[in-house]
Structure 1
Amino acid sequence: MDFLQQLGPVALGSRLRRLSEYLTGEATSIYADYGLSFQPRWYPVFYLIAHRPGISSNEIAEQIGHTHASVSQIVKELVGNGLLAMTPDRQDQRRRLLALTPLGHEVLPQLRAQTDDVRRSMQALLDAAEVNLWQALDRFELQLQQQSLRQRVADARHQRTAAPVQLRDFRPGDQPVFRQLNEEWISRYFKLEPADLKALDHPEEYILEPGGCILLAELNGQVVGTCALIKMEDGHSYELAKMAVSPAAQGQQIGFLLGQAAVQRVRDLSGTRVYLESNAILKPALALYRKLGFQDLAEPNPSPYARADVQMELLLS
């Protein structure tokens, strides 16, 4: 499948740019077929001047919705190719009036014939596609005039960041998302190990039934984060493990909220110590643990994970 198609509306600009490049390439070939030495981007400027001799660059920019700099560059190229002439406005010497040269008038009839053929062909193409693309573009541009894309994205960002994060306990049916979130980050940096698979594939048996718990974070009804507390053999310590936050939801303090809730849960369970294992390359995670109050162990413990080169603990009073 086309990658831009997979991305959907977020890639609209790239999709339109690709279509524009295709149509521009076709237009260049069509001009050549008609014996015209003409650039597609000249067309709206040249055609407008042909219909309104004496118009200025500023007026053209307003009429076709291009920047003044873009119009000025096209005018310069048309003048350089002998198709346009500029004359000072008698009432305002700073203003330049534009008109076709004799060569421009020679080109115009052939350009009009080509335009008529293109118009009929494009209309047939739109009819075959069964879509009023021109009307849709009018409506799309009207929406952007009412509220810019930048403002719309800012509003969406505000809604996302302002949405309340809900924390809850693991429920039957949560195992797939619990595994997915953890497998995603583990596979990004390391590889899944047998100890991972036991906990991720059978969380009830290896985490919940021995006395631990799993917390999930929901945003707009979707699970975006998780962490587990595994009860350790001494009966009063819990291992903080399998903490993961979806990349799409990062930057919203969800990991910190999960960590706080996990520490509080250990207190509620009358635990006195929280232990965790990590890796030195996971600097944001280590910073989060230290923010929660964890400290590095002076003497490392044996670990079932090959990737574990950092061990930390938080003692609860």
Structure 2
Amino acid sequence: MDFLQQLGPVALGSRLRRMSEYFTSEAAGIYADYGLDFQPRWYPVFYLVAHRPGISSNEIADQIGHTHASVSQIVKELVRNGLLAMTTDPQDQRRRLMTLTEQGQAVLPQLRAQTDDVRRSMQALLTEADANLWQALDRLEGQLQQRNLRSRVARVRELREQSPVQLRDFRPGDQPIFRQLNEEWISTYFTLEAADLKALDHPEEYILAPGGGILLAEVNGQVVGTCALIKMADGGYELAKMAVAPAAQGQQIGYLLGQAAIQRARDLGSRRVYLESNSKLAPALALYRKLGFQDLAQPLASPYARANVQMELRLN
């Protein structure tokens, strides 16, 4: 898994840019294979003029969704290379109309043949990938036209800043509250075991130093919840030591901690998150299933006597 895949949807722009650069590079080679001295960035402008002779540069920009400056630059390049002719609109001297030159008309049949071959190849590629990418992009662009990304991020930020629950990483001095929250729930249902004490008394040594992490949830500056990610030998992470103070329950704190821990595992390049629990902890099991965890078919050896449920979440 490369870094952009690890980042997930937050890197959508970078992922699309990478794909765009790949297709642009491939397109340059394909034009050469067809004997066309043609730049990939010219294609939408040239092809639109071929279908609508006499169209203006402003109309081209509106049709293909590029900036007027970008279209003007491409038009100048096409004119300079003898593929487009630009004339003045007799009804509006400020308006420039585009048509193909004789050289452009000569290029058009081979360009159309190449376009048909590329279209069939792309349709086959999308079928092989089992992805209706074109429709998905249509829907995505439609949603962004209704509400742009900047306003969406602003709204999420507003909600986060208004939320009474704030998540943060473990800091020096957090060990006592980390132990207290976990000892409270474990002692209510079970007995503290040696594996518990090792992690709760020395979290820096047994959780953080090997590459794990600890997240804490605060309400009004008070730590009310926590969970840990413990690095496993297979490169995965164990979701462990999740606890929420009784007085703070009912605020979705466990769910927020779980989501953040799963995203942290993705950021660290993990392909799976594993956890152990007990069948008597029905609310906890419901939370894990809500987060996407599924029961393991074959149980693994556990250092905990109380662990009779084992689950995992596979990460893409």
Letter in 1 for 2:87: T
**Hey, what's the Cα distance between the residues in 1 that align with 2:3 and 2:26?**
23
CA distance in 1: counterparts of 2:119 and 2:4, whole angstroms: 28
Work out whether residues 165 and 253 of structure 2, in 8 Å CA contact, stay in contact via their aligned partners in 1: no
The one-character-per-residue Cα deviations of 1:246-272 (angstroms, maximum 9, x if unpaired) are 9x9xxxxxxxxxxxxxxxxxxxxxxxx
User: Match of 1:71?
Assistant: 71
Structure 2 distance, partners of 1:223, 1:131, is: 31
Residues 83 and 171 of structure 1, relative CA distance in 2, 3 Å threshold: same
Residue 15 of structure 2 is matched in structure 1 by 15
What is the aligned partner in structure 1 of residue 124 from structure 2? 124
Task: Please tell me whether residue 29 in structure 1 is matched to residue 29 in structure 2.
Answer: yes
- Residue 135 of structure 1 is matched in structure 2 by 135
TM-superposed CA distance for 1:136, in Å, is: 0.5
**TM-aligned CA deviation for residue 170 of structure 1:** 2.6
Secondary structure (helix, strand or coil) at the match of 1:85 reads strand
Aligned AA (1:114): Q
Q: Which amino acid aligns with 1:85?
A: A
Do the aligned partners of residues 221 and 101 (structure 1) sit closer, same or farther apart at CA in structure 2, a change above 3 Å counting?
A: same
**Structure 1 position 121, deviation (Å):** 0.6
Q: 1:216 aligns with which of 210, 220, 223?
A: 223
Aligned partner of residue 152 in structure 1, secondary structure: helix
Q: Decide whether aligned partners of structure 1 residues 153 and 171 sit closer, same or farther in structure 2, where only a CA change above 3 A counts.
A: same
CA distance in 1 between counterparts of 2:166 and 2:105 reads: 70
Stretches of structure 2 lacking an aligned partner (at least 5 in a row): 168-176, 187-195, 215-221, 226-250, 264-316
Q: Please say if residues 82 and 101 of structure 2, whose CA atoms lie closer than 8 Å, have aligned partners that are also in contact.
A: yes
Match of 1:207 in 2: none
Name the CA distance, whole Å, in 2 between partners of 1:57 and 1:50.
13
Q: Note if contact 2:55-2:98 (Cα within 8 Å) is conserved in structure 1.
A: yes
Normalising by structure 2, report the TM-score: 0.57
The amino acid of 1:22's aligned partner reads Y
- Alpha-carbon distance, 1:40 to partner: 0.5
Preserved CA contact (<8 Å) 1:79 1:85: yes
State the partner residue of 1:170.
181
Whichever of the two has the greater Rg, that structure is: 1
- Give the aligned partner of residue 287 of structure 1: none
Q: What SS does structure 1 have at the residue aligned with 2:55?
A: coil
Residue identity matched to 1:216 = V
What is the CA–CA distance in structure 2 between the aligned matches of 1:171 and 1:106, rounded to whole Å?
76
| Structure 1 contact 85–100 (Cα < 8 Å) conserved | yes
**Larger RCO, structure (CA 8 Å, separation 6 or more):** 2
1:222 deviates by 5.1
Shift of 1:74: 0.5
In the TM superposition, residue 179 of structure 1 has moved relative to its aligned partner by 6.5
Q: In structure 2, do the counterparts of structure 1 residues 223 and 112 end up closer, same or farther at CA, with 3 Å as the change threshold?
A: closer
Asked whether the equivalents of residues 87 and 96 of structure 2 are also in contact (C-alpha less than 8 Å), the reply is: yes
Q: In the aligned structure 2, how far is the partner of 1:75 from the partner of 1:3?
A: 37
Task: Measure, in 2, the Cα distance between the counterparts of 1:128 and 1:89.
Answer: 47
Q: TM (normalized to structure 1)?
A: 0.57
Distance 2:10 2:65 in 1: 24
Q: Distance in 1 between matches of 2:83 and 2:149?
A: 38
Instruction: Verify the 8 A CA contact 1:166 1:217 in the aligned structure 2.
Output: no
In structure 1, runs of 5+ residues without a counterpart are 188-199, 201-214, 226-245, 249-317
Q: Percent identity?
A: 69
Sort the Cα spacing of 1:177 and 1:146 in 2 relative to 1 into closer, same or farther, 3 A: farther
Q: Give a deviation string over 1:169-196, Cα, whole Å, max 9, x none.
A: 634269858966x68xx98xxxxxxxxx
Q: 2:166 and 2:6 mapped to 1: Cα distance? A: 30
Aligned residues: 199
